[in-house]
Homo-oligomer: A and B are copies of this chain.
Amino acid sequence: MPEHRQAKIVFSPSGKHGQFPVGTPVLQAARELGVDIDSICGGRALCGRCQVEPVEGNFAKEGIVSSPDHLDGLTEDELYALENGQLLAGNRLSCRAKILADVRIDVPPASQVHQQVVRKEYDARPIELDPLVHLYFTQVAEPDLKHPEGDLQRLLKALEKDWGLAELDCDFSVLQSLQSALRDGQWQVTVAVRDGTRIVAIWPGLQEHLYGAAVDVGSTTIAVHLCDLSSGDVMSSAGAMNPQIRYGEDLMSRVSYAMLNPQGAGQMTAAVRSAINELLAKVIDRAKTDVSQVLEITLVGNPIMHHLLLGLDPTPLGSSPFALATSRSTELPATELGLQLAAGTRAYILPCIAGHVGADTAAVMLAETPWQLDEMSLIIDVGTNAEIVLGNRDRIMATSSPTGPAFEGAQISAGQRAAPGAIERVRIDPKTLEPKFKVIGGQLWSDDPGFKDELGEQEVTGICGSGIIEAIASMYLAGIIRPDGVIDGSTAKRNPRIESSERTFSYLLHKGQPDIRILQADVRAIQLAKAALYAGARLLMDHMGVETVDRIRLAGAFGSHIDVKYAMVLGLIPDCDLEKVSSANNAAGTGARIALLNKASRREIEKRVREVEKIETAIDESFQDHFVEALGIPQENA
């Protein structure tokens, strides 16, 4: 033991350490050493956030022998916290436990201020948890006849004294609930402070939970994820069809609807907001929390979804020069978007990049951070348009390519959205030209004995985007389709599935209710779509001056369902080592979640969006050349 009754304390995982007088609370030692330990109640043993684990062991490297006994005994506050499950057995509240002798203290991830949130995606970095809104508990002085300061001014003084929060602004809605919160809480309240500058909510007594919602507004589906802002965990998720579909299946038909109907844009704005409200109610209910605790929401979407969500006119986006109302991020009270959230809740909408490249692509960029890599990354988000990003730490470009909705199963004779009953995998035997396929919702191939049982009452209803890609690629690999995309009529002799219809041929994939055929027109539609996608990627590569890319990331539903091998057979994407082609899953939704959980990421993506070089396919001649060239199927892939 050191002289004069000092003891050594070592914190892990930071490794920070120091000497302190015996009797020093662990939290105080941590603060003095700059070890970030979370707290809402400010050391009042109320919130349980500051709990730590004293470790048993001989730590030669740090020169100490540590034991949980080297802290003083459990205090009454800690016994109470143990009883009500707030404190884990073996842990201590760092605001209560005092140092008696040398000790090593493990700060568990949940007690760290800037904890890392792990992501599921392959090859993805964790998110550093650093949300905009934080909770602070405080004790406010009671009013005093001699010092006629207002309730608000006494609250501000308490927050400055307890938490060093100076010169805070205060939402008017908070002022309106301040009087009752202070009196109901007997002058103890918890406030939510946004960005260290503004009080956006208040509760009587101690409030420990805070949530945020990340929303991906797709033209087809809307997805909402509710996240715990103190852990980063997704508490609940919900999705729904975008009800705007009743006004137009694809984006351009929605813009037309807005052009032709004076109230059209307003109807679509109301529809999408109401769908988001329903999903918000659902995720809040599923997470068993209360709407008053949801204080942040981030939203992403393509430019037309972005404008309709914000109540902006989408019609300038319908024709050249495709003028955005704003190309910056937008932040505003969520209630101004018609969202049924608390008055203090702020909505943040990521910036659009250009008239065809939206906030969804900005979110994909934020999820993928190509600017952190030396490798040249090609990131493709296939929806109605393909939005394409190419770059590395030196330079980033983005464009949008008019693939049309064929990859989503639209404009395909038997096409449908990815939903139960849709064919999603196809193989064709090159000898017999007989097919086998898998259906969404099932595990078995169609030639497996149990296939019909597994299907049960579910009919095979159509073919989705990934299914049509595999079908056409398999037809090509089996020799049914020629490199120029024509269904070869001579194969009809080998298998009756190749059928003649007027002057073209088709392939019967499935005899059922309905029959599912791949028509020549379907092959043509996919050829056009894949040529557009490929030409967009090539255009960026030309501008970048590269012949190959180091890695390819496929985002979105299509990107996560597609079998990369077949995409490459068809020539959807430029050549790349198959090992280096991977799915980025729902990168747009992930980007929305990152913007929700990490405030610095908002400034980061705003800066990147300003810097990214925007390439316009419509006015670039080489796009046309690439497009025409890419209409066929690359023969080297055969």
A117: CB under 8 A from chain B? no
A79: CB under 8 A from chain B? no
> Which segment, of A13-21, A58-66, A420-428, A612-620, faces chain B?
A612-620
B312 touches A176 (CB 8 A): yes
A534 to chain B, nearest CB (A): 23
Considering the chains assembled together, what is the distance between the CA atoms of A543 and B311 in angstroms? Answer: 59
The contact of A150 among B143, B175, B323, by CB within 8 Å, is: B323
> Which segment, of A313-321, A487-495, A594-602, faces chain B?
A313-321
A23 to chain B, nearest CB (A): 39
Residue on B with the closest CB to A149?
B327
> Which segment, of A217-225, A328-336, A451-459, A630-638, faces chain B?
A328-336
Could you tell me which residues of chain A, from 278 to 327, have a CB within 8 Å of some CB in chain B?
310-313, 316, 320-327
A146 touches B310 (CB 8 A): no
B150 touches A310 (CB 8 A): no
List residues of chain B with CB within 8 A of the CB of A326. Answer: 150-153, 175
B145 touches A321 (CB 8 A): yes
List residues of chain B with CB within 8 A of the CB of A143. Answer: 316, 321-323
List residues of chain B with CB within 8 A of the CB of A321. Answer: 143-145, 148
A619 touches B145 (CB 8 A): yes
A354 to chain B, nearest CB (A): 4
A336 touches B179 (CB 8 A): no
A31 to chain B, nearest CB (A): 31
| Contact A150 B616, CB 8 Å, known A175-B310, A332-B172, A336-B172 | no
A327 touches B616 (CB 8 A): no
List residues of chain B with CB within 8 A of the CB of A320. Answer: 145
B316 touches A179 (CB 8 A): yes
Considering the chains assembled together, what is the distance between the CA atoms of A143 and B618 in angstroms? Answer: 15
A178: CB under 8 A from chain B? yes
Chain A interface residue count, CB cutoff 8 Å, equals 41
A182 to chain B, nearest CB (A): 9
| Contact A175 B312, CB 8 Å, known A321-B144, A616-B146 | yes
A355: CB under 8 A from chain B? yes
The contact of A176 among B178, B311, B616, by CB within 8 Å, is: B311
A605 to chain B, nearest CB (A): 16
List residues of chain B with CB within 8 A of the CB of A253. Answer: none
**How many copies of the polypeptide does the oligomer hold?**
2
A353: CB under 8 A from chain B? yes
The contact of A175 among B330, B354, B616, B619, by CB within 8 Å, is: B330
A263: CB under 8 A from chain B? no
A330 touches B149 (CB 8 A): no
Considering the chains assembled together, what is the distance between the CA atoms of A313 and B177 in angstroms? Answer: 9
List residues of chain B with CB within 8 A of the CB of A179. Answer: 312-313, 316, 325
List residues of chain B with CB within 8 A of the CB of A325. Answer: 150-152, 175, 178-179
Considering the chains assembled together, what is the distance between the CA atoms of A179 and B325 in angstroms? Answer: 6
Residue on B with the closest CB to A347?
B172
Residue on B with the closest CB to A316?
B179
Considering the chains assembled together, what is the distance between the CA atoms of A353 and B149 in angstroms? Answer: 8
Considering the chains assembled together, what is the distance between the CA atoms of A25 and B190 in angstroms? Answer: 61
Considering the chains assembled together, what is the distance between the CA atoms of A176 and B269 in angstroms? Answer: 12
A618 touches B328 (CB 8 A): no
List residues of chain B with CB within 8 A of the CB of A355. Answer: 145, 148
A180: CB under 8 A from chain B? yes
Considering the chains assembled together, what is the distance between the CA atoms of A172 and B310 in angstroms? Answer: 9
A614 touches B178 (CB 8 A): no
Residue on B with the closest CB to A148?
B354
- 19 new A-B pairs (CB below 8 Å) besides A149-B324, A149-B327, A176-B310? A148-B321, A148-B322, A148-B324, A148-B327, A148-B353, A148-B355, A150-B323, A150-B324, A150-B326, A150-B352, A151-B316, A151-B324, A153-B326, A172-B330, A172-B332, A172-B336, A175-B330, A179-B312, A180-B313
24 contacts between A and B (CB under 8 A): A143-B321, A143-B322, A144-B321, A145-B321, A145-B322, A145-B616, A145-B618, A145-B619, A148-B321, A148-B322, A148-B324, A148-B353, A149-B327, A150-B326, A150-B328, A150-B352, A151-B323, A152-B326, A153-B327, A172-B330, A172-B336, A175-B310, A176-B311, A179-B312
The 3 tightest CB contacts between A and B, nearest first, are: A143-B323, A148-B354, A150-B327
Give the B-binding residues of A (Cβ under 8 A).
143-146, 148-153, 172, 175-176, 178-180, 310-313, 316, 320-328, 330, 332, 336, 352-355, 614, 616, 618-619
